[in-house]
Copies of this chain bind each other. A is one copy, B any other.
Amino acid sequence: MKSTLIKDIYRNSALYLNQEIEVSGWVRTLRASKAFGFIELNDGTFFKNIQVVFEEGLENYAEITKLTTGTSLIVKGILAESPGAKQPFELKAQTIVVEGECASDYPLQKKRHSFEYLRTIAHLRPRTNTFAAVFRVRSIVAFAIHQFFQERGFVYVNTPLITGSDAEGAGEMFRVTTLDLNALPRTEEGKIDFSKDFFGKETNLTVSGQLNAETYCMAFRNVYTFGPTFRAENSNTARHAAEFWMIEPEIAFANLEDDMELAEDMIKYIINYVLEKAPEEMAFFNEFVDKNLLERLNNIVQSDFERVTYTRAIELLEKVKDQFEYPVEWGTDLQTEHERYLTEQVFKKPIFVIDYPKDIKAFYMRMNEDQKTVAAMDLLVPGIGEIIGGSQREERLEALEKRMKELGLKQEDYSWYLDLRKYGGTHHAGYGLGFERIIMYLTGISNIRDVIAFPRTVKNAEF
Contacts and interface: CB of A to CB of B under 8 A. Distances in A.
B103 A422 contact: yes
Interface stretch (A31-39, A79-87, A151-159): A151-159
Interface stretch (A22-30, A290-298, A301-309, A368-376): A22-30
A192 interface: yes
Interface string A141-165: 0110011001001111111111111
A45 B463 contact: no
Interface in A368-418: 395, 416-417
A434 to B, nearest CB: 13
Interface in A221-241: 221-222, 227-228, 230, 232, 234
Query: Size class of A's contact patch?
Result: 35 or more
A71 B127 CA distance: 56
A423 interface: yes
A454 B212 contact: yes
A167 B397 CA distance: 49
Contacts of A74: 253
A220 B124 contact: no
Contacts of A155: 44, 135-136, 139
Contacts of A421: 100
B99 A426 contact: yes
Given A164-B462, A192-B182, A424 B100 contact: yes
Given A160-B456, A458-B198, A461-B164, A44 B126 contact: no
A174 interface: yes
A101 B424 CA distance: 5
A3 interface: yes
A253 B178 CA distance: 40
Contacts of A425: 72, 99-100
Interface string A83-112: 000000000000000011111001010000
A123 B215 contact: yes
A66 interface: no
B212 A453 contact: yes
A252 interface: yes
A351 to B, nearest CB: 24
A161 B182 CA distance: 24
Contact of A424 (B27, B126, B222, B454): B27
Given A100-B395, A135-B157, A174 B174 contact: no
Given A162-B242, A198-B232, A219 B126 contact: yes
A460 interface: yes
A172 interface: yes
B456 A162 contact: yes
21 contacts: A24-B252, A25-B221, A44-B222, A70-B424, A71-B424, A100-B425, A102-B422, A102-B423, A124-B215, A124-B219, A126-B215, A126-B220, A160-B453, A160-B454, A160-B461, A175-B177, A177-B181, A181-B192, A182-B192, A198-B459, A215-B463
A156 to B, nearest CB: 4
9 closest A-B pairs (Cβ-Cβ)?
A126-B219, A44-B221, A100-B425, A164-B461, A199-B461, A123-B215, A139-B156, A44-B220, A200-B459
B174 A176 contact: yes
Contacts of A3: 253
B228 A161 contact: yes
Interface string A425-455: 1110000000000000000000000001111
A222 B422 CA distance: 49
A40 interface: no
A275 interface: no
Given A27-B424, A175-B179, 14 more contacts: A26-B424, A99-B253, A99-B426, A123-B417, A126-B215, A132-B220, A135-B220, A140-B150, A146-B146, A161-B228, A175-B177, A181-B181, A227-B227, A416-B463
A456 B178 CA distance: 14
Query: A176, A179, A199 — which one has the most chain B CB atoms within 10 A of its CB?
Result: A176
A426 B181 CA distance: 42
A463 B165 contact: yes
Contacts of A352: none
A139 B225 CA distance: 10
A51 interface: no
B162 A243 contact: yes
A5 interface: yes
